[in-house]
Structure 1
């Protein structure tokens, strides 16, 4: 339990017994560590401190002060310093860390230290000083000629900024002009000038974030640019969220909120205008002087959403938060949010831990997306953590999706979430696309694309419209195959085939990153008849280029968008009509709005039909409905063609009827019969080791301990046998897993607490293991 003790400043007395503080560290040990606090240092709970650990100096977070330690004082080492470049972490954020530590059974220090920017985790690297700079906006340039001559200060400051080739430090502007403070505020309020936070060493416009001159703590009108009229469904959604916001009024102290937590599932078909609901709810939040946190599933979605928000709220300070940002920019954004300067934060799953003292609204876009579940290290669900954070911040949380997760829909059925439904497209007269199938048993698909698909694309392009082709596999082909004996090159470190990338003429493992030139002859029979088998996005792009040599084609996948900003450039070009065909992976399916795309073709979606994972059908339905929703989003009619050998499969039929609800009902009935989530709760012990024998011994011991940890109170708890992981070997490590299933969440958590304590006593350091609570892949 965290002790939220006030500042601890030891009196300057040489004979005093030094107080002890408890510090969480980024180490895989399930406890915090005690340190002496020298008289010269001042700390509080949440302070970041530098401490000695072994032969290293590392950063930790103070979890408790005035600790009554059990360790002999002559064995304790002392805190070396306190990081002065950051405020202490707030009680709210520490409570979120504590929840994650308890629920996901991970050391709180690991959670906390991995949630803060890398620059703050360094014991040696000082964070850069930040300065405010000013620059003129497009509106300011337009207004400059019409400013009356009597407004000397306004004209002078605007003229100075207009003539400057870069943003100018606000301090410099104030030194040059009398009464500059009042004038700058007026210019900011008018939207003619924007305030930027930058480092004092490099004022780089590309790294800057627009900002108002002062943090708004009290209700005030919010400047909105280009807000459209909402339809009846959207207006009702905004009203419901707004009612919850009205119940979270501020107290007299700006950093304290009181009110009511409320969770909404915004269930809107593709193109129904969920983003406009988000923006209207954000505006209502800002008008109350609060901050809004928006989570998106992919880094590549962040720039587009930021562009929309900056366009709508030109006078607001907005911070981006994701792991793809440069370290300095990430630190700046985090600090702006922590100080309350950034009114809107947009980021990926890690942004759920961003400190925001006036948090008034949390939005999780595409809440069903598996990207919100961390798959390395501490395996938390950012969606679930967002719901918890909203509950302790006493503010609304909005989970939005066209294809909500089955767990979220079950939460609606149990009365935990309020259901908001958007069943019509936001653009008047825009209809859902027609969906039809191309039976691959009746028509061949050389290079992966049938002639029916090619003809449909050709007709679309001749009408001046755009087409999108979706295949959820990158590379040219998933394998090279010997035509004589069937041999296929495999990764030496993984139990997977090497994927052929023709543009680079390389074989690559998509699991460990291994890279090799393609062989010239077969390893087994020395045949030279080696040819690519199957299709990836690169091969489909090549086939489309052959079929449409004069058309503008762009491929969107992880390989083609490695350079920062490249994906955003493609999406912007598509929106401007500068591309004819988009081909790519799931990066195309999420959140994009291309008004001129009227045809979507789906290639090779049948793989999920054979998956052993009980969630495979759900993911397949979500993915197909999401990608189908890219077609016909404006006034032009849309069409979707799906190539498949299983036309009658229940998922395909639900997609064809646009009836996700029917699919969910069938899936829930099946899961209830099989006692699968949400009618039970799962946890996986995942383990890996280079020595397969040691891994077997470890898993056998873990299975024994699991049986011993079962008690009479664990009624309805089942321990399954150890099995090999879906990918049996990865990067040279053999992998196995053991699943525990329980009827109740509390019973599972109580069991895990006992079991994990016992597992940590197993003396086998060559085995790496972790616990995955609520796994999304089994």
Structure 2
């Protein structure tokens, strides 16, 4: 049947993904001329209800496609792109992701676009180019090292170069503006050149050992087809060199490489490694970029100009016309799972994208996730092991310190302090790890035992002393001034209990006054460029104490660290989450791996009240792989993920009973489904029952049959969303990684 209007003329339609919280695409009409120009993957401006939105064409419908005559189509407002900016493979990828994670397609498609394109801005923004005005200005910059360095780099580009390239070379925009004020250089706006630059080697590869050669050859053989590899290499075993040599072979073919890292903090050292090895265009994609720089980097990837794209998890959706290799470094890291909104896991999306693009995918880690080991066990991924550290470096030895019997100063064992002193006097560096920022986790009254609790959460306030004394809830963000007396009994002696990184920093400065204490946590690295300055300082060979949270544990190379001290490992052994021991084991091994990466042997000291804990003893006497084997057996016996597939419903409202009644009602509806092979756990209160003034409840669904689980969830979840009270917030987390 031919679609027609009253004049029997053809009706031209496109199906558009619109960024609204609905799971369907919507049909819009357009003129014959517009229909000829329109392409799937291009943006359009549309009217949706009373809103004016930017959508993406997902499909051009044939003019004779059937159309219900009762439906009155809206016309698109404007074609925003002359060509598709999302390729057919990316459209397939986002469609699959929306279906798999049961999330609105329009929101998923928008997450594949940079902010300026989501806002409807034109694709062809002008690039900021910097050119020298004075090539004899050494005297004007002699007082500033940064300006001297920027000036030297600008002299290498007499015809000018883009701000992005200068930023990648370590030149900050503020430094360029300072030179502009001195009339040494100027900024001009030019049309961007998206033509790819030829790739060449800037530095010869290192000599690979036999294990590295085997890994490189195994991966290179699979170029041009999909194969997933788990590169399971000890910390310091040269995984990056394997990446670089495989990348070299892929880049030789004119293909692009996508490299994902878990956090922004890892990008400076990774960029440095890539730049020192390859002469090519490298695009950076992460949340630390402003909107225009992110758009330019995205365009460099989408046009094929960038040979290497380096980014955090959202970069997995970036269009790349010649993608030939995907690498996830530190694949076990929880940062690869989006924990709000579109709750995808970049690792799983990367595996599906590799299948679509027919290219190899490398997941690298010293502590692979139990999920990845299960994929190897099920034959869906090949494992490649690296069992020796690169060069002469040896694996560090782990020592357990029993806090029940140890003599302590400020919560640190005296024997550990003595070891730290010896290393510092030998001009070595020491890393002290505590996964708790702030000054102290509890403020208590010494008279009546009152504790400073967040009024909105089931949690204590954390005491902070910078930039001023205050109480801060790390869960909802509430900040209160420090009370002058106890609000319960008016007693004036309020005591901070426990230790955060700021308090440990204070004690270490007192205990080691002759050495630098460099604190690395979210508070000390909040300013733009602050982490890079800290990292550069650590790379100098001066003796120092590095103190920090998980930011210090993630893949960094600290060649002068010979001793690692983990002050509190017990909190990770007490969690209700079944993945807690896995996370704790990964953390211990990753932090321990920062020791002894240079020529000197490293040691690791763990302070614990439970030196007999099976997990700690497995790590000390055997290794992480043995722990993983035991954990796989335990998970299989208990039929827990990855041996069953899971979905977690999170329900949030102002009344816990409302949550419970609503979830129980819908659980009963699901149980009535025919041939249901799904276990329903809950509803139960969340581990933190009250957060930001609202009550949280959970309900988990588990099934050994992934397809069946998704089939039953699809309509049931839509029914839940449509029937929930307006004051209630519901989220669905497919393959949840956390229970909080």
The answer to whether TM tops 0.5 is yes
Q: Matches of 2:15 and 2:724 in 1, distance apart?
A: 27
Residue in structure 1 matched with residue 206 of structure 2 by the alignment = 228
Which structure 2 residues correspond to residues 132-531 of structure 1 after superposition, within 5 A? 162=155, 167=160, 214-215=195-196, 222-245=200-223, 248=224, 260-313=225-278, 315-427=279-391, 429-503=392-466, 504-531=468-495
CA distance 1:704–1:102, shift in 2 (3 Å): same
Q: Matches of 1:496 and 1:692 in 2, distance apart?
A: 17
What's the offset of the Cα at 1:422? 0.1
SS in 1 for 2:595: coil
- Does 2:105 correspond to 1:108? yes
Please give the per-residue CA displacement for 1:1-43, whole angstroms capped at 9, x wherever unaligned.
xxxxxxxxx9xxx984441211111111111122121345331
What's the offset of the Cα at 1:434? 1.1
Asked if 2 retains the 8 angstrom alpha-carbon contact of 1:489 and 1:498, the reply is yes
Q: Matches of 2:685 and 2:187 in 1, distance apart?
A: 47
Q: Matches of 1:161 and 1:721 in 2, distance apart?
A: 62
Asked if 2 retains the 8 angstrom alpha-carbon contact of 1:86 and 1:335, the reply is no
What's the offset of the Cα at 1:288? 0.9
Q: Matches of 2:478 and 2:327 in 1, distance apart?
A: 38
Q: Matches of 2:156 and 2:610 in 1, distance apart?
A: 65
Residue in structure 2 matched with residue 684 of structure 1 by the alignment = 648
Please give the per-residue CA displacement for 1:471-508, whole angstroms capped at 9, x wherever unaligned.
01111111101112222111122221111112231101
Q: Matches of 2:131 and 2:68 in 1, distance apart?
A: 56
Asked if 2 retains the 8 angstrom alpha-carbon contact of 1:554 and 1:579, the reply is no
- Does 2:603 correspond to 1:603? no
CA distance 1:29–1:452, shift in 2 (3 Å): same
Asked if 1 retains the 8 angstrom alpha-carbon contact of 2:427 and 2:543, the reply is no
What's the offset of the Cα at 1:535? 0.9
Asked if 2 retains the 8 angstrom alpha-carbon contact of 1:321 and 1:334, the reply is yes
Q: Matches of 2:400 and 2:249 in 1, distance apart?
A: 44
Residue in structure 2 matched with residue 173 of structure 1 by the alignment = none
**Counterpart among 581, 595, 611 of residue 617 in structure 1:** 581
Which structure 2 residues correspond to residues 585-596 of structure 1 after superposition, within 5 A? 585-596=549-560
Please give the per-residue CA displacement for 1:359-417, whole angstroms capped at 9, x wherever unaligned.
00000000111110000001110001001100110000000000001111111111111
Q: Matches of 1:166 and 1:572 in 2, distance apart?
A: 30
SS in 2 for 1:711: coil
Asked if 1 retains the 8 angstrom alpha-carbon contact of 2:646 and 2:736, the reply is yes
**Counterpart among 69, 73, 78 of residue 76 in structure 1:** 73
CA distance 1:449–1:163, shift in 2 (3 Å): closer
**Counterpart among 36, 40, 61 of residue 29 in structure 2:** 36
5+ residue gaps, structure 1: 1-9, 137-158, 171-187, 189-193, 249-259
Q: Matches of 1:280 and 1:164 in 2, distance apart?
A: 29
Q: Matches of 1:400 and 1:680 in 2, distance apart?
A: 24
Please give the per-residue CA displacement for 1:133-179, whole angstroms capped at 9, x wherever unaligned.
6989xxxxxxxxxxxxxxxxxxxxxx998497782689xxxxxxxxx
SS in 1 for 2:14: strand
**Counterpart among 662, 665, 689 of residue 698 in structure 1:** 662
Q: Matches of 1:483 and 1:641 in 2, distance apart?
A: 33
What's the offset of the Cα at 1:757? 2.8
What's the offset of the Cα at 1:69? 6.9
Q: Matches of 2:383 and 2:156 in 1, distance apart?
A: 53
What's the offset of the Cα at 1:131? 4.8
When structure 1 is superposed on structure 2, of 26-35 and 555-564 the one drifting more is 26-35
Residue in structure 2 matched with residue 575 of structure 1 by the alignment = 539
SS in 1 for 2:557: coil
Q: Matches of 1:666 and 1:119 in 2, distance apart?
A: 48
When structure 1 is superposed on structure 2, of 72-81 and 741-750 the one drifting more is 72-81
Residue in structure 2 matched with residue 178 of structure 1 by the alignment = none
What's the offset of the Cα at 1:469? 0.3
5+ residue gaps, structure 2: 133-151
What's the offset of the Cα at 1:703? 1.9
Cα RMSD of the aligned pairs, angstroms, is 2.9
CA distance 1:523–1:276, shift in 2 (3 Å): same
SS in 2 for 1:294: strand
Please give the per-residue CA displacement for 1:65-121, whole angstroms capped at 9, x wherever unaligned.
226575657732221112238743111111110111111111111111022100011
- In the alignment of these two chains, the number of paired residues is 695
Please give the per-residue CA displacement for 1:281-336, whole angstroms capped at 9, x wherever unaligned.
111110011000000011111122111111111x2000011122111110001011
* TM-score of the pair, normalised by structure 2: 0.89
CA distance 1:71–1:213, shift in 2 (3 Å): closer
